[in-house]
Amino acid sequence: MADKDESSNYIVPAADSKSKALLLRYPISLPDFGSGGKTNQWRLQMPVIDQDKCIKCIICWADCPEATIHRKSDDSVEINYDYCKGCGICANECPTKAIRMVDE
């Protein structure tokens, strides 16, 4: 799980109740997680980080199409398993092979 207490990097403004009531009329949507559902269910393999091998290069973070790698203040990284789809780009691109794809 992404450490949401440690300053999540996600920018999600709170929706006012008036907007919510009129969404269908206009029709508009509000920014939120999981607009495509619980996308962790798509995953066949999950990335697992070996923090000892990690050199904090944050390439995995930069290349993640999903924003499911959390970049912490010290540039160490953590996977957001709630939404990670398991594409494996992070493991493929990691220069020190610190990320392995493991069967669910």
Partner 1 sequence: MQTKVITGSRSVATAVMLAKPEVIAAYPVTPQTEIVEDIATFIEEKRLGSRFIKVDSEHSAMGACIGASSAGARTFTATSSQGLLYMDEVVHWAAHARLPIVMAVATRALAAPWSILNEHTDFMTQLTSGWIQIMAENNQDALDSMLQAYKIGEDPRVTLPVMVGLDGFILTHTSMPVEIPEQADIDSFLGERKPEFEIDVERPFTFGNVIDERYYIDMRHKMFESMQAAKEVIGSVSNEYKRLAGREYSMLECYNCDDAEHIIVSIGASSGDAREASDRLRKEGVKAGAVRIRVIRPFPSEEIAKALGGAETVTVVERSLSVGGGNILAHEIRSALYSAHGPEEAPFVKGFITGLGGKDITPNDYINMVGITRERPTGDEWFGLTGG
Partner 2 sequence: MESPERGQLGTSGSASQADEHMIIKDIPKEEKWLPGNAACPGCGLSLGLRLMAKAIEHPVVVMPASCGSVVQGGWPKSSASFPLLNIAMAAAGSAASGVSEALEALGKKGTVVAWAGDGGTADIGLQALSGAAERGENIIFVMYDNEAYMNTGIQRSSSTPHGAWTTTTPEGKREFKKEVAHIMMAHNLEYMATASVAFPTDFIEKLRKAEAHKGTKFIQLFSPCPPGWRIDYSKSIEVGKLAVQAGVWILYEYENGKVSISPISRPYLDAKKRRPLKDYLSLQGRFANVDEREATEIEKSVVEKWRFLSRFM
Q: Which two tokens stand for residue 62?
A: 């930069």
Quote the CA–CA distance of 104 and 102 in Å, as a whole number: 6
Tokens standing for 57?
């290069």
Alpha-carbon span 70 to 21, nearest angstrom: 33
In the list 3, 6, 50, 75, the residue contacting partner 2 (rule: CB under 8 A) is 75
Residue with smaller CB distance to partner 1, 26 or 65: 26
Footprint of partner 1 on 11-50 (CB under 8 A): 13, 18-19, 22, 24-31
> Under the criterion CB under 8 A, does residue 95 sit at the interface with partner 1?
no
Residues forming the site for partner 1 (CB under 8 A): 13, 18-19, 22, 24-31
